[in-house]
Structure 1
Amino acid sequence: MNINSTLFLQAVVFAILVWFSMRYIWPPITKALDERARKIADGLAAADKAKSELAQANQRVEQQLSAARDDAGKRLADAERLAQSIVEEAKTRANEEGAKIVAAAKAEADQALVQAREALREQVAALAVKGAEQILRREVNAGVHADLLSRLKTEL
C-alpha cells in the first residue's frame, strides 16, 4: 500500500468521523452541557434568592424578638407597678386598721377608766359611810343620807 493513499484514506475516515460526530454525537452533548449550565445557573439563582430570603427572615425574627423583649419588659414593669400599688394599698389598709385598733383600745381604756373611777367612788362612798358610822357609833339610814352620798360621789 501506498503511504499517500493510506494517508488520504485516513483523512477521509477522519472527516467522516468528524462529520458523524458533529451531526449525531455533538448536539446531544452540547444540549446536555447547556442544560447542565442552565440548571447550575438556576441553582445559583435559587441559592441567592434563598440567601436573601434567609436574611429577610432573620431580620423579621430579630424584629419579632425585639418586640417580644419590649413586650416582656413592659409587662414586667406593669407587674412591678401593680405589685407596688398592692403593697402601698396593703400598707394603707394596715395603717387604717392599726389606727382603728388604737382608737378602739383607747376608747376601751377610757371606758375602763370611767368604770374604775365609778367603782372607786362607790368604794370611797362606802368607806366614808362606814367611817361615819363608826365615828357616830350608830346606824346610819342610807335612805335618808342618799342625797348626801350622791353629792359626795360627784365631788370625788
Structure 2
Amino acid sequence: MDVSVQDEQRNDMNVSYEAASRRLPDGHPHGAIRHSRDLVKGMLESAPGNRGRAVTGDRAHDVMLVVSELVTNAYLHAGGAVEVWIGWQGDDLRVEVEDSSPRHPREPEDSLKGEGGGFGCQLIEALTDGWGVCATRTGRTGKAVYARFSFED
C-alpha cells in the first residue's frame, strides 16, 4: 500500500532557513545514524530557530527518533542514505534524509508487520507535524523524505 504522504515540489529553495547538512558515510547504517543524530542534536541545542530556545526533553527525543528511523529506512529500503539536512524556519524544524532511490516509502500490509518491523510510517506520522517526499536539495537522482516539527507556543 502506498503511503499517503505529501509529495511536494521543491519550492522552498529560496526560503530562508537556519540550516546545516551532512553527507553521510557509505557502509553500515550505524555510522550514518550516529552522524545524523550528532548534526540534529547540535541544531536542537543551539536553537538558531525556535526563538532561540533549545529543544530538550521529549520533543528532542521525538526528533532524534524520527531522524534515526528515516536514515534506517533509507538503508533498508533505498540503498542507503546520502545526506541529511536540518533547518529552522521560525518555529518550524524540517529534517530531510536524501537517498538515491526514486521509490516512495510504502507502509507494509498488516500481515507483514511484526518483530522485524513495519511500523516506521506509523511512528513518523505519530511523532511529527507532517512528513512527505520531495526532490533532493542537491539535484541528485533520488528523493528526500522529510519530517516537519512545529514548536509554536
TM interval, short-chain normalised:
under 0.3
Larger relative contact order (CA 8 Å, sep ≥ 6): 2
Whose helix fraction is larger, Structure 1's or Structure 2's?
1
TM-score by length of 1: 0.19
TM-score by length of 2: 0.19
Compare CA radii of gyration and give the structure with the larger one. Answer: 1
